Every structure is written in structure tokens, then in C-alpha cells.
Amino acid sequence: MTTDTYQSLLTHLAQCNDATEIAALLTALLTDKEQQDIANRIRIFDLLEKGVTQREIAEQLGVGIATVSRGAKARQQHDVSALLATHRRDH
């Protein structure tokens, strides 16, 4: 999935030192719905780790069970522990 353009984005984000700069870039790149979908994915990871059932998560976030299932699969395939630590620290 990684293309040269996508790799350029990753490189640019890695070089950013300011959350405001990253937020402005993501606002330019992503629609409001895409931003909400990303926020929900992080919430799904967090709730799954806390032992909440997929059905309860779907109801709590107002998303479909398939959305939660995709989040669960992604969580199993990738180490999101650092992201969750940041999320929990900030909330």
C-alpha cells in the first residue's frame, strides 16, 4: 500500500514537532467524517483493551458491528500500545 506519495506524507509527519502543524495538515487531507472514523478506531482499540464487547462498543459509539470487527482485527495485527498510552494520557 505504501506509495512514494504516501511515504512522503509519513516522512513529513515524522519531521513535525508541533501538534498544531499536524492538525492543520490532517484537516487539509481528511474530511470531517474521515477524522471521526480515525477517532472512533482509536476508541475501539481502547474499549477492546478494556474488555468491552464488540456489540457494546458498536452501541456506545453508534457504529456498525463490522466497523468494530475491522478495528478488532487491526488491533490484533498491529501494536497500538504506544497510541493507546498517548490516548489515555490525554484523556
One domain, residues 21 and 50: no
40 shares its domain with 83: yes
Domain co-membership, 20 together with 37: no
Q: Which cell goes with 61?
A: 459509539
Q: Could you tell me if 60 and 47 lie in one domain?
A: yes
Same domain membership, residue 67 and residue 26: no
Strand, helix or coil at 91?
Answer: coil
| Statement to judge: residues 55 and 15 lie in one domain | no
Give the other-Cβ count within 10 Å of 73's Cβ: 10
Per-residue pLDDT band for 1 (boundaries 50, 70, 90) equals low
Among 73, 34, 74, 40, which residue's Cα sits nearest to residue 58? 40
pTM for the model stands at: 0.88
What pLDDT digit, counting tens, does each position of 9-54 carry? 999 999 999 999 999 999 999 999 999 999 999 999 999 999 999 9
Question: In the structure grid, which three cell numbers stand for residue 18, read together?
Answer: 508541533
Domains in the chain, number: 2
Domain that holds residue 3: 1-30
What are the grid coordinates assigned to 10, written together? 509519513
